[in-house]
Amino acid sequence: MTAHPLFDISGRTALVTGSSRGIGLALARGLAEAGCTVVLNGRDGDRLARAAAELPGGLVHTAVFDVTDGPSVAAGIAEVEERVGPLDILVNNAGMQLRAPLLEFTDSDWHRILDTNLTSAFLTGREAARRMTRRGRGKIVNVCSLQSEVVRPGIAPYAATKGALKMLTKGMCADWGPQGVQVNGLGPGYIETELTRPLVEDAEFSAWVRGRTPAGRWGRTEDLVGGLLFLVSPAADFVTGQVLYVDGGMTSVL
Ligand code: NDP
């Protein structure tokens, strides 16, 4: 039996920001396995080359640029389109976490997390959409978070960036929908990666996550792939401005 043609994305070109490891790398792998040409992005060329070597060969490229820096983003995306081809898919995944009580949060950390988690999606989204809207088609997925909806003590700035990213997703949908570009969010729950390592290693917190999640476990990076493949496929051509939470049910229960 073959997959339904509505889910066929083979031959598309996709850029995944922050894909040297973790969720970004898993999403890139999923796109490559679905037959896309994939461009990995991060700030370290050697790390990206090692990540690219892990993915199915032939269709994988790398692009080193910092997603918080406007001129670098503009040059990076222009160079990707010239070298690899027109982008059909952009996944804004690069992000970071800083945990501290608000009263101890510094100005520079505030700007750093805002730049990395929110401004980055504006910069890369705008740059890609300039091209996608001209061509009349494109899919953008912003990696939001369960913290786009809820917050815990000590992560207010992170939640603020992810809540704002959800609204940026809806705004991009409003602005670019008429030109054939769909923009959605993918909202991971607690997923085991380098970003969450301190939480995974905290036995009490780790048990809390398992107990609080209807699925009864931490998420794995591969858990996010199906949701992404749906959002960037023709099956989702009339789905835009939504956030799909892939969180084992956590955002749905008290
Ligand atoms: P990791 O810390 O494991 O990976 C982050 C990635 O982003 C790395 O590849 C890093 O590459 C890249 N990156 C960071 N800053 C920049 C930058 N300025 N320019 C380019 N690339 C950058 O994080 P995760 O995989 O856990 O998270 C990925 C996304 O998923 C983030 O947006 C995060 O907020 C979100 N998320 C994660 C959850 C989780 O439980 N893990 C839950 C909900 C959301 P390099 O350092 O090589 O540049």
pLDDT at 1: 72
Domain for residue 60, yes or no? yes
Q: How many domains does the chain fold into? A: 1
Q: How far apart are CA 124 and CA 39, in angstroms?
A: 14
Domain for residue 198, yes or no? no
Domain for residue 37, yes or no? yes
b/e for 11-39, b at 16 or more Cβ within 10 A?
ebbbbbbbbbbbbbbbbbbbbbebebbbb
pLDDT at 134: 98
pLDDT at 56: 83
Say yes or no: CB of residue 224 within 6 Å of ligand 1.
no
Classify the C-alpha dihedral 57-59-64-65 as positive or negative.
Answer: negative
**In a mutational test of the pocket of ligand 1, which residue from 67, 115, 192, 193 has the highest number of ligand atoms less than 8 Å from its CB?**
193
Q: What is the CATH number of the domain that holds 234?
A: 3.40.50.720
188 DSSP β-pair partners: 246
**In a mutational test of the pocket of ligand 1, which residue from 17, 43, 220 has the highest number of ligand atoms less than 8 Å from its CB?**
43
Look up the domain containing 135 and give its range: 10-191+220-249
Q: Whose CA is nearest to atom 32 of ligand 1?
A: 95
Domain for residue 108, yes or no? yes
Domain for residue 117, yes or no? yes
Residue whose token pair is 């997925």: 141
What is the Cα 18 distance to its own chain's centre?
A: 8
Per residue of the chain (254 residues), what is the pLDDT tens digit? Answer: 788 999 999 999 999 999 999 999 999 999 999 999 999 999 999 999 999 999 987 799 999 999 999 999 999 999 999 999 999 999 999 999 999 999 999 999 999 999 999 999 999 999 999 999 999 999 999 999 999 999 999 999 999 999 999 999 999 999 999 999 999 999 999 999 999 999 999 999 999 999 999 999 999 999 999 999 999 999 999 999 999 999 999 999 98
Domain for residue 96, yes or no? yes
Domain for residue 201, yes or no? no
Domain for residue 3, yes or no? no
Complex ipTM more than 0.90, yes or no: yes
Per residue in 51-64, pLDDT tens? Answer: 999 998 779 999 99
